[in-house]
Chain A
Amino acid sequence: MATVFMRWLERRPATYERGIRLLTLGRLGAFYQRIQAEIGAEDRVLEIGCGTGALTRQLAAKAAKIEALDVSADMLDYASRDLQARGLSAHVRFSRMDALTLDSHFAAGSFDIIVSSLAISELSALGQEHVLRLCRALLKPSGSLFILDEHEPEGPGARRISRLIRAPLRLLTWLLTRTTTHPLRKFAQKLASAGFEAECLQQGLAGTLRLFRATPLASFRLKEMPALVTHVQHRPNLRTRVQDLWALFFRVIPPYPSVEPGLYAIGDPDTASPVLVTGNYDLTVRRVVAPLDRRSDVWLLVVDSAGINVWCGAGGGFLTAERILGAFHMSGLERWHEAKRMILPQLCANGVDGDLIRAQTGWQVHWGPVRAVDIPDYLENNFEKTEAMRTVRFPLSDRLEMVSATLGLYGLMILVPVVIFWGHLFWPALIALLGISYFYALALPWIPGRDGLLKSIPLAFIVLAGMLVYSLVIGSYDPLQLFRRGIGVVALSVFVAAEMQGMSPLMRGEQANWGWEALIALVLGGAYWLLPGLVGWSA
């Protein structure tokens, strides 16, 4: 499901430009002209995040040499063809580049002007700070940085009102073009802490759209240790309980609640404290923090895993060694950390290349325990894992949790068509689904069969027997009804047992069962609709 959703979210250049025009109510043009007016004909210009080239066109009409960057190949293709058609491409070089890696492509002090329009806000807070530091290094001492972006109004009241007013426009634009912006917060402070003196040149849309000109401060040295660290604590409250409840039933439905990637402090860590790495799924982070808070002093490096847990994130290519290295470099750890020891979750070893991280950082990389609750013991035990710490178990509490998580999505998938087409079957279907699922979760260790598909055979027999007893004692089904409901519960048993297999790293992924599930569904469907007619069975 997640992949379907992401596909739909994909940006296309033409609709992106339309979306941005809609969101800014066509006000960007005036800002572009202002930037153009600030540029000299001999200037060497870097544009970060050129997108469809709307600003690049204006710059190209004036500046001597422009480097235009974007992470999206589609956007670059669109922009370069557009500029060619207008005869403006002579002095522009387009490159596909991640802004976070600017320093490995350009020498320090090589630009007079750096511009960026609606691109900085696409980065995480940590990424923004990192890119601003890189920009300062790439600018000549007399150079200027122009940043045009959307900003959140200061003060909670103004922020709420602005969000409320913008909400309908944002929703409409997103539905039409899958484009949205992420307004910047406290940006002037960020510019100052990266070593810039900033002034706001122009604003629009009630002050939410602002153009900043930032010039490098002559007397500025980057601090080595982060002066201000974000502490995370384990404090359950109403909000986290609602999130837990949502996660219990609907965690497989995107978008996943996530935590801002970055370096966090648990307790009171220093330059020798161990660095723990995890993904940025909200529940994952909270479950790592809970056992550590008030017991250990550690750094927690939260890596962008697209809001997915570490096992599925690593398996699906969202949590990778490259992502971890990216977060590591941005965090600045390598500049001040002395113990040089990093602990990765054991359950991301299926997709994170530990050797690559060792080679690129020179740090010691350990594989921590499977369960976050074991981390404090593991740390106190001098990074030694016991047998129990390295092995996946699937205890009753986990089984109940995972069967609930499966029921949320599959319950909707099964019950919605039932309500629409077979309304009278809603309660029997719901009770059967809940009954089979939770019975399976309880009885899993004692049901014979080495994987979910094989376990579904005894499960189906138990469920059939239960239904038979029910119909004899309480209900009074006629044979045709009994046959059809029997098919129904067998189908549910196979589905529940085969799919639960993917909910723990105890058995192979549930994909192993899909071919068989489809085949069984065909056979059962055929029997359901054809057999009664063939044998002349009627109610």
Chain B
Amino acid sequence: MTEITSPGWRELLLEHWHLARTLRRLEIVFEPERCMGLFECYEVCPVECWRILQDQDVVEFIGAGRCIACNACVLQCSAGAIELRVV
């Protein structure tokens, strides 16, 4: 099986430090004009942050304050319309 290569102590500490610093401030940045209407974000979000606008065939982000910054929508969006970053 593929081995799991564990990072060194320094990288681990830095990674945790980085997470502790940024996790609270990460926000979804969504570009509606790039949305292709695949609704993968709606499909995977565990905390109901996306709403489908039926008449326009696109989604709308409604999760400010509820988003848990899990990165699922960012990873699954084939259009690259969603970003998670410190604003």
Contact = CB atoms under 8 A, between A and B. Distances in A.
Interface residues of B, number: 29
B4 A326 contact: no
Given A347-B46, A392-B47, A505-B47, A306 B4 contact: yes
B62 interface: no
A370 B43 contact: no
Interface string A1-19: 0010011001000000000
B86 interface: no
Interface string A86-125: 0000000000001010000000000000000000001110
B46 A392 contact: yes
A218 B38 CA distance: 51
A450 B65 contact: yes
Nearest to B48: A391
A498 to B, nearest CB: 12
A351 B75 CA distance: 7
Given A123-B1, A354-B40, A391 B47 contact: yes
B68 to A, nearest CB: 5
A49 to B, nearest CB: 12
A514 interface: yes
Interface string B54-71: 000000000001001111
A127 B1 contact: yes
A367 B4 contact: no
Given A7-B9, A10-B6, A346 B46 contact: yes
A414 interface: no
B65 A349 contact: no
B12 interface: yes
A3 B1 contact: no
B72 A350 contact: yes
Given A3-B12, A355-B78, A350 B71 contact: yes
A269 B20 CA distance: 46
A245 B43 CA distance: 34
Nearest to B25: A512
Contacts of B6: 3, 6-7, 10
B75 A350 contact: yes
A511 interface: yes
B85 interface: no
A379 to B, nearest CB: 16
Contacts of A304: 1
Given A346-B43, A346-B46, A353 B2 contact: no
Interface residues of A, number: 46
Nearest to B24: A512
B1 A315 contact: no
Contacts of B23: 508-509, 511-512
Nearest to B44: A349
Contact of B70 (A315, A318, A326, A353): A315
B49 to A, nearest CB: 10
B76 to A, nearest CB: 5
B34 interface: no
Contact of B44 (A100, A367, A511, A513): A367
Contacts of A323: 2
Nearest to A509: B23
Contacts of A352: 75
B75 A353 contact: yes
B36 interface: no
Give the interface centre of B1, B19, B78 by most chain A CB atoms within 10 Å: B1
A306 B78 CA distance: 28
Contacts of B4: 6, 306, 318
Given A6-B4, A351-B75, A354-B76, A505 B70 contact: yes
B68 A507 contact: yes
A391 B72 CA distance: 13
Contacts of A122: 1
A258 interface: no
Interface in A320-374: 322-323, 326, 346-347, 349-355, 367, 370
Of all A-B residue pairs in the complex, the 7 with the closest CB atoms, nearest first, are A349-B44, A349-B72, A512-B23, A392-B46, A514-B20, A511-B19, A350-B70
Given A100-B1, A323-B2, A506-B68, 18 more contacts: A6-B6, A98-B2, A122-B1, A347-B46, A349-B72, A350-B70, A355-B76, A355-B78, A367-B40, A385-B43, A505-B47, A506-B47, A508-B24, A508-B69, A509-B19, A509-B69, A511-B16, A512-B20
Interface of B: 1-4, 6, 9, 12, 16, 19-21, 23-24, 40, 43-48, 65, 68-72, 75-76, 78
